[in-house]
Structure 1
Amino acid sequence: MLSIIKSSSEVEKNVALETVMSKDINHIKSIISSDEKNILKETLELEKEREVTTSFQRFMKKLEIPHEGKVVSSLRNPDLEPIKYEDQTWGFWSMLGYWGLPNFSIPTFSTAITFSSLGLNAKEIIGALIIANCFVISMLILSANNGADYHIGFGLSQRMTYGIKGSYFGVLIRLGISFVTFGYLAWGGGALINMILDSFSHNYLNYSGFEKSSGLDAKGLIGFVIFLILCCVFVFVHPRKTAKYSLFACGSTFFGILGMFIYLRKTAGGPGVLWYAKDTMGTTDRAFTWLYVITIWISGVANSILNGNDYQRFTRSEDKFKISISLVAAILVAATLVATFGLICSSCCLSLYGQSYFMPTDITEQWLNDNYSPKARAATFFLGIAFSSCQLMLNMTQNAYAVGMDLALYAPRYFNVRRGTMLCVIVGGWATCPWTFYTGASKFLTVMSAFGLFVTPSITFLWCDYYVIRKNLSLIDFFTKSPSGTYWYFHGINFRAIIVAVIGISLGLPGLYYTCYPEQAYNVGMMRFYYAYFLFVPMITIPLYLLSYKLFPYKNERLGLSDPVDYFDCFSPDECAKYGMIKFEGKLDPYSILDGIVDNYNTIDNNIESSAGEEEVKVEIKE
């Protein structure tokens, strides 16, 4: 196990280790309550191998994920379990790479200029983005702390909020958005692949083929297919091992954007005409437009905020401060710089070419059409490599892997992260018809603004549950259907969360409808509610959710309790001391209780009695 002490001198330096390291089996037995015994019994029964008797059962057995002796059940597989301490390898640079992806990416580069269509000038847009990024950092830290502290992912956090069965509702929302966003980014990634192909052949640059009114065209389809093939390669890379690829993608994209910015600004002789534009809106309209810009910006990463614990669980809780600094660098600094560069580049394009391009693909195509020279081709090629690599890693880490993790919760026996990710790549790119999202700036803003509405209630519930209602989490309760489990609620569903979530989402739907159909007469109040739903929805859902617990108290004896034992080997000795846990080492590993190595708790009791006299086990601390 990981809780290792090298010598008695280490214990003397850290007195807490004496209280958390136990070699006494009887001690372990004495601290496990009757409720925990019942939960363990129910868990063992749930995970017990069933006898296969029919052809259909044999067929379904063959479809189960490969688990190499580890337990799979209707609630558990290796990808759902809390992360072992030895696998918590992410630190400052890993999180900088992960959160740098959405902020060094083409969507961030392209979004700022689209805000000018709302009536704000360049300086106001940048100011709104700085405020929005501060909100993003705060929301992310609040949402992901349960992952850093207890090393659990998004699926388990939804069991905490919605219940063991109700979690399917919370995960379904993110699952749907992840599919849509994957397709949207994959089609954009195809356009970036075409930048590379354009630099190879002048004929390909001018290739037209078929073109549909929906936005689907032959050239876009070619790039799209190639991009999906590249996504298939990364299906076989575990999310925990993507940090180095993400850092490379962020670095190459940043220098590509910086080079484009320097060239266009120098050629245009300044920041362009849009930089000096004035807005003519009234005070109230300007205020709500600022809020709408902030809402759209937050909405673009809201899904990632909600599942921030999926990657924060790969970090160690003692590294929280360093992780927070990496978030500031990756979100506040990087996003503000890249968005500003994108806005100025588009402004320069308006001065140089008569059009304010908001996609880099349009800019490089302009260069190649003006002069298909070696210089223009080389610039296009290297920019295409940089931008497509970032788009690839962004889409995999933020969407494809997220689908894999979500499907692992829906069908743990048959889906792990790899299988779910492959399904997303094969199906998700096509099913959402992503080419329809790129038909104009207004459509782009509509898509961007809609995502956050559906996940904001779930984000607020994470805050309420973790910081107010529970404060401590029991990990064994995530994998049981026992009514004693603290996440069982009423028949496995927390109706409080579902009802409040529906209320929060419903209040924003009229504004979303008006945004999709601007020709319709609209209610000003509902429209303004939608413009600032990132602010108004939490103001409604947080009080309602907490009030629901006052009106309908949740009576569960395990509410707010941590496990008495580090069953999942995911905590350091200091963390065990903090949560009042015992870390056991000996012949009977408490983790095996959950793994079903023993058949029932009576057998466990017998083993405990017979092992009480075993010789003392050496314990070391890992350096």
Structure 2
Amino acid sequence: MSFLKGFEIKSVQGKKTTTWINKDIAPLPAARRTWDVLTFLGFWNTGNFTASSYSGGSSLVSLGLSIPQTVGILMVAKVFVVISAVMNGWVGARFHIGFTVTQRQVFGVYGSGLGIAMRIILGVVWYGSGGWMGGLCLGTLLSTIFPTYQNMKNTFPESVNMTTKDCVSYLLYQLICMLLLAFKPEKIYKPVTVVAFYNFLTMIAIVSWARTKAGSIGPLVHTTTTASGSELGWIWMYGLTSTYGGIASGIANQPDFARFARKETDPILGNFLGLWFFSILVPVIGIITTSCLLKVYGAEYWNPIYVVQLWLETDYGPKSRAAAFFASLGFTFAQMVNNVVENGIPGGMDMAGVCPKYINIFRGSIIISLLSWCVCPWTFYNTSSIFVTVMSSFSVFMVPLIGVCLCDFWFVRGRKIFLLDLYHGGKDGKYFYTKGCNFRALAAWTVAFTLNLPGMIHQINPDIYVAQGMYDYYRGNLFFGGALSMSLYYLFCRIWPIDGAGETDESDYFGTFTTEEATRLGIIPFDDIPVAEAELLSEKYPFLANHGLASEKGNEFDVNVVELDAPGTLNKLKRWFGKYFET
């Protein structure tokens, strides 16, 4: 026990952690809510302005669709993405709680482990996948500086599925990202915005070069569809589902970031511009560039980092190296920030929800980073792996999960939550349900995803026959899986009503809301809670004495104050770093 005690999250101003709460999953006070419209725009653009988003049109084109149809699918699918992200993130923007805590509300204080476990698995896989792509970008960047790096001898056997250069680049990338993981989420908005803008200019420069090189827009944009009739309609359905599914994990954990919003409505415009306009524009840039280079080189270059490598391989002179340096610098930074912000930090938040007493966001992010090596991400790109197909089909689980969460907050609870009971496992809590699990939500989710399994199995292995109707259900999972889970959950809640649904706290016990917010929500502001009531509640809910009310009324939980005992210069450094990094 004494050994484990040494790993407990350190107290801040005497506020100790428990098995249900620490400073990173407690409702956020106003001091930590720093994200505005531009921040949310920058957040999504870290994912838009990456090599993965750039090549996003390739998967749709490979289905046999024409370029206009590909763009049409992107435009329609992103509408559903924007609506889902805004609606699912609203609970975070309003009550300032993250994904792990909202799962307690939906599935129960113990049943919440289901959604959290899925998010952790996805976080590990996508962190590894993004890390490998980032390693390639970093390797190209170093190759522009060091000729010996460009021509590094491969000492690995072919069975390893990667070269020595790739391995070194991936290792260096992972080490740098571990440093970036120390950024506090509320302080990362500045580098996010700068990196997104820089790499957008990089993409504009690449497509301009390709257009000039080809002298025309190229042949790819003039290709026609190879499907017709009802099959074309189902390909459209699958295209919409796969496009939505590619970001379903990010939609599910929107409360993690929406809770940092300064105002409840800030995520709306930022999400629209980032998730609709720019997320369509970037794949279009990739399509045009690939089409132009197909005319010049006779090959399709869907990965922009391969375009940069092409510059170095055809001409390793000063001009090519300079152009490649600035281009690969943008993609490297973008991949790093994107992997940290969309995979590492959210994964850390999920881990913090699993074991708040010992894991905070930073520790959880490091665990995600280390586990990402276990999935061998180099096999994602260098082999034909069934594992990749399985992970790309993971939306069959996430889409029904999102449907249940949306139904619970918007239709069952009427956008009201009782925060107090989210942070203890007592049987008298509103989210204890039956033995800690909300079986209504579990049943609705299980039925919706189970119907997708035959189609997913056929997608993984076409030799396994399934009825065409089951396969079509899988291809239209965005509509069928989401609508079915929402409908079933609402029906179950009407048949077996949830006790306390639609109720909210009488007062702002955590000191989370501003006076204006509390008034709008119809609850008593923190400063207006009588001292006698504060003391009684602190006795009934001991965690409130640590993360909200205190026996000395008015001592609001402040996560920005860090106990420092180092003298002189070291103390000053700690104070400076404490503003931006986890401590």
Q: CA deviation at 1:600?
A: 11
Q: CA deviation at 1:67?
A: 2.1
User: Alpha carbons of 1:584 and 1:424: their partners in 2 closer, same or farther (altered >3 Å)?
Assistant: closer
1:559 and 2:501 are equivalent in the alignment: yes
Answer whether contact 1:88 1:313 (CA < 8 A) is retained.
yes
Query: Which deviations, in whole Å up to 9, do the C-alpha atoms of 1:209-251 show, x marking residues without a partner?
Result: 1253463332211111111011111121111111111111111
Aligned partner of 1:348 among 292, 297, 302: 292
1:198 corresponds in structure 2 to 143
Answer whether contact 1:364 1:380 (CA < 8 A) is retained.
yes
1:222 and 2:168 are equivalent in the alignment: yes
Q: Which runs of 5+ in 1 are unaligned?
A: 1-56, 602-606, 615-623
Q: CA deviation at 1:594?
A: 6.7
Q: CA deviation at 1:552?
A: 2.6
Q: CA deviation at 1:421?
A: 0.7
1:269 and 2:269 are equivalent in the alignment: no
Q: CA deviation at 1:105?
A: 1.8
Q: CA deviation at 1:546?
A: 1.2
Partner amino acid, structure 2, of 1:100:
N
Query: Which deviations, in whole Å up to 9, do the C-alpha atoms of 1:121-148 show, x marking residues without a partner?
Result: 1111111101111111001011000111
Answer whether contact 1:477 1:485 (CA < 8 A) is retained.
yes
User: Alpha carbons of 1:263 and 1:596: their partners in 2 closer, same or farther (altered >3 Å)?
Assistant: farther
- Secondary structure of the corresponding residue to residue 247 of structure 2: helix
Query: Which deviations, in whole Å up to 9, do the C-alpha atoms of 1:554-595 show, x marking residues without a partner?
Result: 3x2x33111111111111222222222112437849777776
Query: Which deviations, in whole Å up to 9, do the C-alpha atoms of 1:519-574 show, x marking residues without a partner?
Result: 544532222222221111012111111111233333x2x33111111111111222
2:75 corresponds in structure 1 to 130
1:510 and 2:454 are equivalent in the alignment: yes
Partner amino acid, structure 2, of 1:496:
R
| Range with greater deviation from structure 2 (260-269 or 277-286) | 277-286
| Separation in 2, partners of 1:126, 1:441 | 27
User: Alpha carbons of 1:584 and 1:570: their partners in 2 closer, same or farther (altered >3 Å)?
Assistant: closer
Greater RCO structure (CA 8 Å; 6+ sep): 1
- Could you say which structure has the larger radius of gyration? 1
- Secondary structure of the corresponding residue to residue 452 of structure 2: helix
1:169 corresponds in structure 2 to 114
1:469 and 2:385 are equivalent in the alignment: no
Answer whether contact 1:584 1:590 (CA < 8 A) is retained.
no
| Separation in 2, partners of 1:338, 1:114 | 14
| Separation in 1, partners of 2:160, 2:103 | 37
Partner amino acid, structure 1, of 2:205:
G
Partner amino acid, structure 2, of 1:417:
I
| Range with greater deviation from structure 2 (210-219 or 467-476) | 210-219
| Range with greater deviation from structure 2 (207-216 or 271-280) | 207-216
Q: CA deviation at 1:252?
A: 1.1
1:289 and 2:235 are equivalent in the alignment: yes
Q: CA deviation at 1:208?
A: 4.8
2:188 corresponds in structure 1 to 242
1:85 and 2:30 are equivalent in the alignment: yes
2:3 corresponds in structure 1 to 59
Q: CA deviation at 1:440?
A: 7.0
1:98 and 2:98 are equivalent in the alignment: no
Partner amino acid, structure 2, of 1:560:
G
2:577 corresponds in structure 1 to none
1:312 corresponds in structure 2 to 258
Answer whether contact 2:124 2:369 (CA < 8 A) is retained.
no
User: Alpha carbons of 1:207 and 1:115: their partners in 2 closer, same or farther (altered >3 Å)?
Assistant: farther
Q: CA deviation at 1:306?
A: 0.5
| Separation in 2, partners of 1:238, 1:179 | 20
1:121 and 2:66 are equivalent in the alignment: yes
| Separation in 1, partners of 2:291, 2:542 | 69
Q: CA deviation at 1:518?
A: 3.3
| Separation in 1, partners of 2:144, 2:168 | 15
Q: CA deviation at 1:330?
A: 1.1
1:451 and 2:394 are equivalent in the alignment: yes
Aligned partner of 1:433 among 376, 382, 387: 376
1:361 and 2:305 are equivalent in the alignment: yes
| Range with greater deviation from structure 2 (524-533 or 274-283) | 524-533
User: Alpha carbons of 1:137 and 1:584: their partners in 2 closer, same or farther (altered >3 Å)?
Assistant: closer
| Range with greater deviation from structure 2 (592-601 or 128-137) | 592-601
Q: Count the aligned residue pairs.
A: 545
- Map 1:357-396 to 2 at 5 A: 357-396=301-340
Q: CA deviation at 1:197?
A: 1.7
Question: Structure 2 length normalisation: TM-score?
Answer: 0.88
1:26 corresponds in structure 2 to none
1:460 corresponds in structure 2 to 403
| Separation in 2, partners of 1:443, 1:302 | 20
Q: Which runs of 5+ in 2 are unaligned?
A: 545-549, 555-583
| Range with greater deviation from structure 2 (243-252 or 287-296) | 287-296
Answer whether contact 1:563 1:581 (CA < 8 A) is retained.
yes
Answer whether contact 2:290 2:302 (CA < 8 A) is retained.
yes
Answer whether contact 1:151 1:314 (CA < 8 A) is retained.
yes
| Separation in 2, partners of 1:434, 1:317 | 38
Runs of 4+ in 1 over 6 A off after TM superposition: 440-445, 589-601
User: Alpha carbons of 1:600 and 1:541: their partners in 2 closer, same or farther (altered >3 Å)?
Assistant: closer
Answer whether contact 1:128 1:294 (CA < 8 A) is retained.
yes
Answer whether contact 1:193 1:384 (CA < 8 A) is retained.
yes
| Separation in 1, partners of 2:542, 2:106 | 31
- Map 1:41-52 to 2 at 5 A: none
Q: CA deviation at 1:599?
A: 7.2
| Separation in 1, partners of 2:57, 2:112 | 35
Answer whether contact 1:250 1:390 (CA < 8 A) is retained.
yes
2:563 corresponds in structure 1 to none
Answer whether contact 2:180 2:340 (CA < 8 A) is retained.
yes
Aligned partner of 2:434 among 476, 482, 490: 490
Answer whether contact 1:296 1:448 (CA < 8 A) is retained.
no
Answer whether contact 2:390 2:460 (CA < 8 A) is retained.
no
Aligned partner of 2:517 among 543, 550, 575: 575
Question: Structure 1 length normalisation: TM-score?
Answer: 0.83
Query: Which deviations, in whole Å up to 9, do the C-alpha atoms of 1:384-419 show, x marking residues without a partner?
Result: 110111111111111111121111111111101011
| Separation in 2, partners of 1:184, 1:141 | 26
Q: CA deviation at 1:157?
A: 0.5
2:572 corresponds in structure 1 to none
| Range with greater deviation from structure 2 (193-202 or 273-282) | 193-202
Q: CA deviation at 1:431?
A: 0.9
- Secondary structure of the corresponding residue to residue 250 of structure 2: helix
1:401 corresponds in structure 2 to 345
